[in-house]
Structure formats: C-alpha cells, structure tokens
Amino acid sequence: MAGQAGSFKLMKSLNRALILQTIRESEPISRSEIAKRTKLTPPTVTNIVNELLEEELVLESKVGSSNGGRKPIMLTIHADSRYTIGVDVGVKKIRLSLMNMNARIDQTKRVEMPERLTNDTFLSLLETSIEDFLEEIGAYKDSVIGVGIAMHGIVDATSGESIHAPTLKLRHVPIKASLEAALSLPVFVENDAKAMALGEKWFGAGKDYSSFISVNIGEGVGAGVVIRDKLWSGATGLAGEIGHTVLHPDGPTCSCGRKGCLQAFVSGEALRLQAAQAPEESALKKIKEADGAAVYEAAKSGDDFSQRVLREAGKYLGLGLVNIVHFMNPKLVIIGGGVAKAEEYLEAPMKQVLGERALTEDAGETEVVFSPLGEKAALIGAGTLVLSHLFHYEQAGKL
C-alpha cells in the first residue's frame, strides 16, 4: 500500500499512467496487447507492469483465450487497492465520500454549511470536514491517493482556486494550495458540473461518447462540456455556465442577481420559490419551507399544483436544451442533479419543446438521457478528478 507521502510520486510517471489507462479501458488485457496499443517496447511494459503488480495497483487475472500456443496472463485494475476522497461543495452542505477505483462509494459524510462564510472560515470548515472523514474511514486512510473537490461556481482547475462562488458570496479562495498544505495529499478542484461530466465520461452515460454535454440541475444549473474526451473550460473557466443564459429578460430574479436566467426557472431554488406560492388546496401548504424535494414528493402523491410546477420546469428545461442543441449540436445530453430526480414529470414537456423548436428533425431527436449515476453523480465526479490524474497520460504529465 502506498502511504500518503508516496502519492505524489505515484502519479508522476507518464508511461505508468498510459499503461494504467490502457488496462482500465480494455481489461482484462495481456502484456503484449498493452505493448501493441501503447507502442511502448515489451521490456518497458514488463518492467512497469511488474512495478504495478508489486504496488497492488494491478492484478493478474484469469488466463486469456488463445488459438493454440501459450495462453497469455491477463491483467486487470485492482479496484480496491486505492481510494479517493470526493467532496461535493453545495450551497447548503458539504458531502464527502470514500470511493474505490471502480466508482463504488463505500462511505459518506454530510456537513451543514453555515449561513455566513469568509474565505478563511470556509477553508477551515473544508479542512476539518476532510480531516474528520479521514479519521472516520479508519484503515482505508492509508490507501487514499488524493482528494477531489467539486465546487459550484467558477473554478480555475489548474491553480485549484475558486474564482467566484456566487451563492456562497466568496471570491478567490485558494482551495488546492490551502488543503494540500494541510492534508499532505494531492488535491484537485473543478466546477461541480464539470466534475459530474467527467464522472459520466468514466462511469456513467458518457462512457461510449467522446463528445457530449452533461447538465447539472440542483440548487444551481451548470453544464460540463466534453469535447474529444476532454473537458472544455473556455478562455476563463466560464464554459458550461448555461444556468445563466437568458430565457426571458424580464423573468424571475436569479441567484446571480440578474433576471430571467435558465436557472431561475428550473433550479431547486426556483422550485422552492414556487412552492412558497402554492394555493390553499395544494399539499405543499401543509409543509413548512417546502423545497424542490418536497415538490417532487407532493407531485408523486398526486398533488396537482406540484405536478404542474414540475411540468412547467420541464418546458423551460426544454428551452435550455433548444439553445444547447443549436449552439453545440451534441450527440448526447445527460441530465443530472437533484432536480433530475423528477424525471417522470420533466421528460415529456422537455422533449416536446425540443422537438417543436429544433431546426431539423435530427436536432429535435438529439439523445437526451437522465444520469444513471443519480444523486451520486457529483461525488463520483469529484473522486474521478483524482483518478483522472492517476490514469491519464497528459494530465499526469503536468503534476
């Protein structure tokens, strides 16, 4: 098992990352097949694979098929040999998870977010939450290779800084620098919707697509754009902020302070504001401070008003999709996040609007699916941030 001090070193070799990635994508796979695909020499592959076997990152598994001759020994990733800590920083809570290399989440923790925060109190809350969680996971602690943080708002993924987290009213928070100093573990930070897109690419609906868009509808609305297997950040990290594209210049006020953003029509916050306006006969009237989840529960138990609110949100989501489809023409759009749980009410109106407004028949039939990762999508995405640095050739080279 690699100790924490060894973690940085673990991620350094490009060839190792390339071989690990090749095994992950094609396991079970033989040494000679790895050499063929990576164009590395057989002795290089053998040396590195021996190292990986010694470090228990890779396992020799069942014997592969062969037409006569010696049957090759096959290699697989030893998914339980290393773990990541995934942290989803929301508006009201921080969620933490312990994840193996196959995106299996073994333990979680939730920490409430206080109302008012400064950069310093936020960083110390984050640090204490992760330190407490590392204690709680006991013996697993030594197998943790890094921490991935899915943070809402604008993030500079290279420096690991939160540039602007509008709902927490924070700017320029040096998350990576601060946590790496405190935890002695590699820390990776990314916008939450982008982290989710990465999780979808590795473990979810985006697995077989090299380009797609994943839309996160939670307290806020954002998207991760994957182009040719890579996350697209834009010039200054803003790419994918579709929650603040405008559907109606005089529409409801968004959390960003401007009017009529997509987010102001479909987010959890938008549902909560509408629940507060519920008529007397609605079941929501009996619930104190009904939120998006309450609207969904009420809809399921037959509340007419709640069903209408969700179908209406579905229509606006459809308008958001119309804009995405005309601008990017993606092959696949994945819808995830807390609000996406109300799939049964959102889907039909959403697809109807897309069909009606798309310029071509093909565009109207763009594949739109709800995330198979469900509520775990952000946590899996956060954990995958770490895995992507362990496995990915190009990113590992930057460490």
The distance of closest approach from Cβ of residue 388 to Zn ion in the complex, given in angstroms and rounded to an integer, is: 29
CA distances from 257 to 214, 247, 261, 268, 344 (A): 25, 15, 10, 16, 31
Whose Cβ is closer to Zn ion: residue 267's or residue 384's?
Answer: 267
Q: Is 256 in the site for Zn ion (CB under 5 A)?
A: yes
CB 395 to Zn ion: min, Å = 31
> Cβ of residue 323: shortest distance to Zn ion, in angstroms?
14
Instruction: Please select the residue that binds Zn ion; options are 152, 201, 244, 389, rule is CB under 5 A.
Output: 244
Query: Cα–Cα distance between 233 and 159 in angstroms, integer?
Result: 13
Task: Report the alpha-carbon distance of residue 249 to residue 271 in Å, rounded.
Answer: 19
Q: Nearer to Zn ion by C-beta: 160 or 237?
A: 237
Give the interface segment with Zn ion, choosing from 78-86, 186-194, 239-247, 310-318 (CB under 5 A): 239-247
Buried b / exposed e along 176-209 (16+ C-beta atoms within 10 A) = bebbbebbebbbbbbbbbbbbbbbbbbbbbbeeb
Nearest by Cα to 149 from 199, 203, 89, 103: 89
Does the protein bind Zn ion through residue 91 (CB under 5 A)?
no
| Distance from C-alpha of 147 to C-alpha of 159, rounded to nearest angstrom | 15
Structure tokens at 18: 């390339």
> How many residues sit in the footprint of Zn ion (CB under 5 A)?
5
CB-based contacts of 394, cutoff 8 Å, min separation 6: none
Among 18, 217, 261, 317, which residue sits at the site for Zn ion (rule: CB under 5 A)?
261
Beta carbons within 8 Å of 48's beta carbon, 6+ residues apart: 13, 15, 16, 19, 40
How deeply is 56 buried, as exposed, middle or buried, from its count of CB atoms within 10 A (0-12, 13-18, 19+)? Answer: middle
Give the nearer residue to Zn ion in terms of CB position, either 170 or 382.
Answer: 170
Q: How far is the CB of 354 from Zn ion (least distance, A)?
A: 22
Q: Show contacts with Zn ion in window 335-374 (CB under 5 A).
A: none
73 near Zn ion (CB under 5 A): no
Q: How far is the CB of 96 from Zn ion (least distance, A)?
A: 28
* Cβ contact 211:284 at 8 Å: no
Question: Of 117-125, 209-217, 259-267, 298-306, which segment contacts Zn ion by CB under 5 A?
Answer: 259-267
- CA 378, 382, 383, 387 dihedral sign is positive
| Binding flags for Zn ion, 165-204, as an x/- string (CB under 5 A) | ----------------------------------------
- Shortest Cβ distance from residue 257 to Zn ion (Å)? 7
Select 75 or 254, whichever has its Cβ closest to Zn ion: 254
Sign of CA pseudo-dihedral 101, 105, 108, 110: positive
Pair of tokens at residue 353: 């609007």
Contact of 126 with 140, CB cutoff 8 Å? no
Q: Which is nearer to Zn ion, 260 or 330 (CB)?
A: 260
Nearer to Zn ion, 154 or 390 (CB): 154
CB 165 to Zn ion: min, Å? 14
Task: Point out which span in 116-124, 188-196, 255-263, 356-364 binds Zn ion (CB under 5 A).
Answer: 255-263
Among 59, 197, 242, 254, binds Zn ion (CB under 5 A): 254
Tell me which residue of 87, 326, 68 sits closest to 189, measured CA to CA: 87
Please identify, among the stretches 72-80, 116-124, 173-181, 260-268, the one whose residues bind Zn ion according to the rule CB under 5 A.
Answer: 260-268
- The region of 52-60, 154-162, 258-266, 383-391 touching Zn ion under the rule CB under 5 A is 258-266
Nearer CB in complex with Zn ion: 257/302 = 257
Looking at residues 119 to 158 of the shown chain, list those that interact with Zn ion (rule: CB under 5 A). Answer: none
Q: Which residues are near Zn ion by CB under 5 A?
A: 244, 254, 256, 258, 261
